Structure formats: structure tokens, C-alpha cells
Amino acid sequence: MAFRHLISLARRGRRPPIHALASRRLLSTAVAAATDAPLPSTTRQTPMIYDQLAESVKRKLKKLEEPDHRFLQHNSPHATVDSHTEILSAPLTRVTTLPNGLRIATESNLASKTATVGVFIDAGSRFESEESNGTAHFLEHMIFKGTERRNARQLEEEIENMGGHLNAYTSREQTTYHAQVMGSDVPRALDILSDILQNSKFDEQRIIRERDVILREMEEVEGQTQEVIFDHLHATAFQFTPLGRTILGPAENIKKIGKEDLQNYISTHYTAPRMVVAASGAVRHEDIVAEVKKLFTKLSTNPTTASNLVAKGPAIFTGSEVRMLDDDIPLAQFVVAFEGASWTDPDSIALMVMQSMLGSWDKNAGGGKHMGSELAQRVGINEIAESMMAFNTNYKDTGLFGVYAVAKPDCLDDLAYAIMYELTKLSYRVSEADVIRARNQLKSSLLLHMDGTGAVAEDIGRQLLTYGRRIPYAEIFARIDAVDASTIKRVANRFIFDRDVAITAVGPIQGLPDYNWFRRRTYWLRY
């Protein structure tokens, strides 16, 4: 009867009543459900905003899973284990130890026309007292200000006339002086290095002038947020220990350092057993040894080693945080770090592979969202960061492992969740394909870093100071290839699972979760 009534109304050109339309929609819904037919357009509901977002993310993930075939013809989407037999033919590193404890290490490449020679010293800011903090960096500045044989101008002119490059840097554990010259000028470069290290003349007027230079440098560093945030990370993670102090030192120390302080530092820290003379490129080992024996004759033979000094002030990791709220900065920056491994720790290689697994990502990078790292994919697809970078820093007795990120203030919560999820996931679920990809990336980056005589000389000097020997590439690659998924999970359980974290944040960071939120997400309650 109801339908006949509706039909008669329609024939007369009249609109059916509202209750009749509702009855018709209910009936059509029931019929569609019974016949598995799609609903009429009038009965479809607009999806909720959350459903729309979920569908959008699914579509983006599907694009990643089914990439454009035009790119796949140039590169395999699957990670494979490659042969590295050619690495066995790498040049030999020869090492000679003199009676006074000074070590000489060279890697000859006679096909090269240039060479790098450097003096690497086991001395840095962590081997200073609270009163002398900043002396190592101050000395690096003063070492080029003239010797008994050459004044500052003669020193600069001699280097420039031979077309060379003389430079130095100070880190928390090492100080380096190195020169890049033509192969025929290596003896002159060694003469200059020995002169500045043994015969430097610290003029009081020069010291006063250099104080102002260092204080200006400190102001410049304060403007570099990444430098500041990592200095604060060390200060909070290794608080009340020498490793927590900055390399430049406090301003009050810089204003007090004088000639006597610099000379005392040289006599106690610039000793033969704590120094390595490294050379690479167009050099012959016998020639370098002969030159060093002739030139480096005034070095102290004090047997105090860096390990003795570290024992007096070991670095103790403390779970803590430092937050510096600054709404004038447009982007927020923060670091989440765990205690890492020392240089000689058996698990240090596995942490390097884990760093490659987490990877790095930048909004302006060419890779975009199509990165191997799952953390980079999360960040790129959801657009929750400007950049992020996993890092692994090693020291003699400890280390730092974590992630540094830059993001807009309204993305901090999501970004923090993504970082902690991917870090903690390493303790539970690791793909063998991801490990192979990370191993290949790590090996490639190690080889790419060794491009040039300067990088090779630096690698030789650093390894002799940290390991006591130069580790061949074949051994390093074998140790990297020995890392598999089970190794990653074991090491992650050692360094990440339910461990304290150190957090440093700068900028508009009101949206960054509190310390307990991060600490709670170092483990999953899954059984």
C-alpha cells in the first residue's frame, strides 16, 4: 500500500512526505545489504578526517612498495652481499717505534704527486683539569705564532712559497698538526712541524692578542646551534667528569692562560709516547723515519699515557636533560642519546651498522621519501622534520649513540615518537635485508672517506692513538660482515633497551615530551 501511495503521488507531480523518503532509503539499504550491491549515492557517508589521513598514508606506502619500474632498471631494490676481495690488495701501513716511544707510520702511494704529513697527539680537552680547561685549544692557536728560528710571517711565507697547506685542530681526545705538500717538499714540511712543536716562542703580546681571537671564536660558536646542542649534550651526559667540558674552555680560563701554562702543558702532554707522526702519499717509510730521527730530538719521554689520565677522571654517563626554550628561533632542535661504546669495545662495529640502519634524512636531499632507513621513511612520508641524523661518537672508555633532529614546533611530538619507536625496535624486530643494506652503506662510506692523502694520514694517526695499530680494510670489512640481525638485537638490548637517555633541546620546544616520556619508550611491554 505504501508504494502504491508513493507512485500515485509521483504521477500527480507532488513531492512524497519526508517520512516516506526515509522509509524508501531504509528499504534500499536493506535490499543492498541482502544482495551485496553497492549503496546508492544518497546513502554514502563522508569518511572521517582520520580515515582520510589513514588512506592517504596507505597510498603513499603502496607507492614505496611498488616503485616506478623506470628506476628499478638502473638499481636492484634488494640488498645483496658483495665480494670485497680487491680490498686485500690495499697498500701496507708500515709502523716504526723509536727508542723514546715516538711512533712513525706511513702508507706509500708512489703514483701520487702530493703527500700529507701530520703529528697526532693524545691530548685534548678531556685530559685537562677544571682550572686548565681550554689550554689545548689555546696552544693550537699559539703554536703558529713564531719559533726561535722563524717568526709568524716567515712561517706563513715558507708554507705558501712551497704551495702547501698547514693546519691544526683540537678535539676532546686528540690534537693534530698536519701539512699537505708536494712529495718533494715533505722534508721541509717535517722540519716546520718539528720546529713549531719543539721551539715555539710564546710572546706575551701575541698571547694577549690571541685571547681576543679565541673569545670572538667562542661568540661565533654560540651562534651555531648544532655545536651548542652537542656541547650541552656532553655537559649533561658526562656531568662532573672531564669529558663534559667544552673544547674552547670557559671565558674566565681563557683570560688567565699565560706563557707558563702553555709551556707546562707541552712538557706534560706533548711527550714522545703520546705522539704519532703519520704520512701518506708520495713518501717512503725509510726516508720519513730518518727525517724524524734527525728532527724530533727535544721531545719529553715522560711515560704518562692518556689511559693513565683517563683513569683519574673516567667518563660516567648520567641520564639527564637540558632544555633551552627560545621562541625567537623558528625551528626546534633536539638530541636523544644513549651511552655508546668505546673505540676498543667489541660491539663498536655493530653500533656503526645500527647508525647506518637509522640513517639520516634532509628535507632538501635528493632521496626524499625513498630511503632505505625506516626512520627516514617515517619522517619523510609524514613530513614531521626538516632533517634528522643518527650519530655514533666513540671515546677511549665510553661513547654516545643517538639521533639529532630539527623540526617545526608542532611536529615535535610525532617526531619524538618516530625516533623512539625506531630506536627501541632494534631490540625486538630487525630485518636481515636492512642489516645487509646498512653494512654495504657503512663499507662504502668508509672507503669514500679515504679519498685523498689527508684523510688516509688522519685515519692512520687516529687508529694508532686509539687502537695502537692500523686495522686493515680486510679486517674491518670482515668484522662488519659478521654483524647480522641477531647481533643487532643483542647490542640494542645492551645499549638501548631500558637504558637511561640524555636529552638536549633548543628553540620553541614546548611540544617536546618530557624526560619520563622518553625513558618509558626505551622498552615495549610485549610478551
The residues assigned a catalytic role are 140, 210
Cβ atoms of 379 and 385 closer than 8 Å: yes
Torsion of CA 339, 340, 342, 348, to 10 degrees: 160
- The kind and range of the H/E element at 402 are strand 399-407
Which three cell numbers, joined as nine digits, stand for 180? 699537505
Q: Using CA atoms, how far apart are residues 137 and 168, in angstroms rounded to an integer?
A: 10
As a whole number of angstroms, the distance between CA 184 and CA 113 comes to 9
Question: How far is the C-alpha of 277 from the C-alpha of 520, rounded, in Å?
Answer: 48
Strand-by-strand arrangement of the 399-407 sheet: 320-325, 502-507, 332-339, 399-407, 387-394, 360-362
Residue 456, C-alpha cell as written in the block:
688516509
In this structure, what are the phi and psi dihedrals at residue 28, rounded to the nearest 5 degrees? Answer: -65, -35
Q: What is the largest CA-CA distance in the chain?
A: 119
The radius of gyration computed from the CA coordinates of the chain, to the nearest angstrom, equals: 31
Q: How far apart are CA 522 and CA 423, in angstroms?
A: 8
The gap from C-alpha 124 to its chain's centroid, in whole angstroms, comes to 19
